[in-house]
Structure 1
Amino acid sequence: MAHYNTILSQITSLINRHVFDDHAKPHHSGQKFRSYNRWSQFMAMLIGQLSSRKSLRDITDNLKAQKKRLYHLGMKPTSKATLARVNKKQPASLYETVFSDLLKKCQLVTPGHKFSFKNKLYLLDTTTIDLCLAVFPWAEFRKRKDAVKLHMGIDADGYLPTFMDMTDGKVHEINWAKETLKLPKGSFAVFDRGFTDYGWYSSLMKDGIFFVTRLKSNADAEYLFKRAGRKSPGVTNDQPIKLKNIKDPLRLVAYTDLETGQEYRFVTNAHHLKAAEIAAIYKERWQIEQFFKWIKQNLKIKTFLGTSKNAVLTQVWIALCVYLLVAYLNFKAKLGASMQQILRVLQLNLFQRRALADLFRPPDKQQPVSPQLLLWGKL
């Protein structure tokens, strides 16, 4: 009979332990560990995400129950007090680095986006997570309520989270974009009206970045001549405009949804694309809303297992690492299943000793398993 490691071990084989330990050295605070390490912390929190545990006690009790199945992971024994202390004090920046490594691997196997241009397309948005004022005093938001905001950009190639910053609830998305966000030259950015700032638009144009957003109804705009030629179905207007304090003309595209009859007015500096494609690019922004919905429903991202900012960041970054692991499996194996279906199957079989490929093998044994999936264990 063939011997298999647990499904958990096969999933986490994508993370090189030696590379992880090299990253851990510069991301350490205080005295050296004697009987614990960052790898054990990472695996404990990752198991907590994958198995939907509700507390640190729940995580550590689960680890004790599965002790015989965890030895091959190289984990140290984990107590609730130790895990809480490490989450609070050891820099969460380590897991941002691990996330970046996983992202690079995922980008090698992702499909491209569906538009005519080859430039990168980033979808930008912010989501707010409410917190208890008494427990999270550092996360200022309103007088009687605290919150954190996750400012994110996802890559339309596979809808992978690419940029993430966590701030307290008072930080507006446009301030995050102006002060922190760095996009590569030639890329496209899509965002809603919450990012409206003409000075930022000018900065994007100066940096060679294209953008698509909705125009506010009270925009200070000068409407120039209309573009000649036939318009695509749904496109009701396509003309250059000038916005206050922006030197170069921008482009207004008005589009009416053929199903609802609602009109949308987009502003962009992408003069070279068809008007219908501009409308389709903005519609793609809905995918980041779906991303936020998915991580809130399927990962532990709305309630936190620690109260310090570092503990919250640790949990968020590890949750995003879990998302990338599931996404990589989906892209590499070409399973044809939804991300939620894949995660549910993994959760139910996390500590089983069987081939990862068998979890997704068709009921008809005559049907071959995808060769890409069989290669997973060799990475």
Structure 2
Amino acid sequence: MSHHNTVIAQMLKLIPRHEFNTLATQHHAGRSFRKASRWSQFVTMMIAQLSGRNSLRDIVENMTAQMHKLYHLGTGKLSRTTLSRINEDKPYKLYEALFGRLLSRCQSAAPKHNFRFKNKLYSLDATTIDLCLSAFPWAEFRSTKGAVKLHVGLNHEGYLPEFMTVTDGKVHDITAARTMDLPRGSIVVIDKGYNDYAWYKQLIDKNIFFVTRLKNNAKYRVIERYDVLKSKGITSDQIIEFTGAQTAKKCPTRLRRIGYTDGETGKHYVFLTNNMALAAKTIADLYKARWQVELFFKWIKQNLKIKSFVGTSKNAVLTQIWISMCAYLLLAFLKFQSKLAQSMQQILRLLQLNLFEKRDLLRST
């Protein structure tokens, strides 16, 4: 009978220890550790994410129950005080950097998107994570409410959060979007919350295609009309240019306006894009696919610990968020490698029951 280490030990082998230690050295601040380490913090917080632990006491008691199996993970048990202190004080940037390393590993194994074109496809959106203002005074959002905001550019190849940043709740979506270095030739799908004609012009200049919805009060004139396939729900396909004084100045480029009626809901949409080559129905399908980023936010909020936090400082909150995103990438990598039909939620549920069992990881999933 072949020997297998615990499932969690096999998962952590996806992160080379020397690579982690190099990042930990680069992102160290304050006094050196005596017994604790950043690896111990990471392993403890990762297990807390995968096993659904809700508090520092819950996390530590869970690790204590598995004390005899921690040696193979290269870690020991951290006390509540020590874990809290590390989360509060040691820079979260370590886990942001680790997220980048894991993302590269996932990208190499991710399946292609479901469209026939070869361009990279991204959906941009943001979600607000509510915080209690009295407990998190640094996260002031409104007079009685605190929040941080998670901005994501979701790559449809494997549905990976390729571009991600965490900001104060007051930061507007478009402000974060401008910082995303999207690759040339890619297609980005956005909703009306990202309406910024100057940014559209910047995307055009960088040879990046966008698909969004046209504002109801936009002023324009039609330059050219194309024949449409009404059987596919397309009501119009036009080349337009803006006539509003400020809009025309910010975006003097001709764009494509597409009208579409959804056959299932009967709702009518008007899309705006700078892509002149794709079929009108494909443009409509691209906007419909933007729903994947909403599903991503729903999934991480339901299955990972990013709504309740075990620390109150900004560093502790960002540490927990970035480790949760590392957990998401580990789960995505397992799904890509196993090539099985289970959803990521099913994989997570199986892992929760088998984290400290000695069995083949890929067969477990």
Same fold (TM over 0.5): yes
Q: Is the contact made by 2:228 and 2:235 (CA closer than 8 Å) also made in structure 1?
A: no
Tell me the distance in 1 between the aligned counterparts of 2:82 and 2:69. 21
| Residues 93-112 of structure 1 aligned to structure 2 (within 5 Å) | 93-112=93-112
Q: Is 1:267 aligned to residue 267 of structure 2?
A: no
Q: Deviations over 1:66-98 (max 9, x none)?
A: 010111111133111111111111111111111
Partner of 1:209: 208
| Residues 1-379 of structure 1 aligned to structure 2 (within 5 Å) | 1-178=1-178, 180-228=179-227, 230=229, 233-243=232-242, 244=247, 245=249, 246-360=251-365
Q: Percent identity, please.
A: 56
Q: CA deviation at 1:172?
A: 1.0
The structure with more helix, counted as a fraction of residues: 2
Q: CA deviation at 1:227?
A: 1.6
Gapped regions of structure 1 (runs ≥ 5): 361-379
Gapped regions of structure 2 (runs ≥ 5): none
Q: CA deviation at 1:206?
A: 1.1
| Amino acid paired to 1:320 | M
Tell me the distance in 2 between the aligned counterparts of 1:200 and 1:293. 28
Q: Is the contact made by 2:228 and 2:234 (CA closer than 8 Å) also made in structure 1?
A: no
Q: Is the contact made by 2:228 and 2:237 (CA closer than 8 Å) also made in structure 1?
A: no
Q: Is the contact made by 1:29 and 1:91 (CA closer than 8 Å) also made in structure 2?
A: yes
Q: Is the contact made by 1:138 and 1:168 (CA closer than 8 Å) also made in structure 2?
A: no
Q: CA deviation at 1:232?
A: 5.8
State the secondary structure of the residue aligned to 2:151.
strand
Q: Which moved more, 1:217-226 or 1:343-352?
A: 217-226
Tell me the distance in 2 between the aligned counterparts of 1:224 and 1:146. 47
How many residue pairs end up in the alignment?
359
Q: Deviations over 1:270-309 (max 9, x none)?
A: 1111101000111110000000000000000111111111
Q: Is the contact made by 1:232 and 1:275 (CA closer than 8 Å) also made in structure 2?
A: no
Q: Is the contact made by 1:232 and 1:276 (CA closer than 8 Å) also made in structure 2?
A: no
| Amino acid paired to 2:238 | Q
State the secondary structure of the residue aligned to 2:116.
coil
Q: CA deviation at 1:130?
A: 1.1
Q: Is the contact made by 2:228 and 2:236 (CA closer than 8 Å) also made in structure 1?
A: no
Q: CA deviation at 1:317?
A: 0.8
**Aligned CA-pair RMSD:** 1.3
Q: CA deviation at 1:175?
A: 1.6
Tell me the distance in 2 between the aligned counterparts of 1:311 and 1:328. 26
TM-score by length of 1: 0.92
State the secondary structure of the residue aligned to 1:225.
strand
Q: CA deviation at 1:149?
A: 0.8
Q: CA deviation at 1:221?
A: 2.4
Q: Deviations over 1:225-245 (max 9, x none)?
A: 212465661111000111322
Tell me the distance in 2 between the aligned counterparts of 1:37 and 1:113. 39
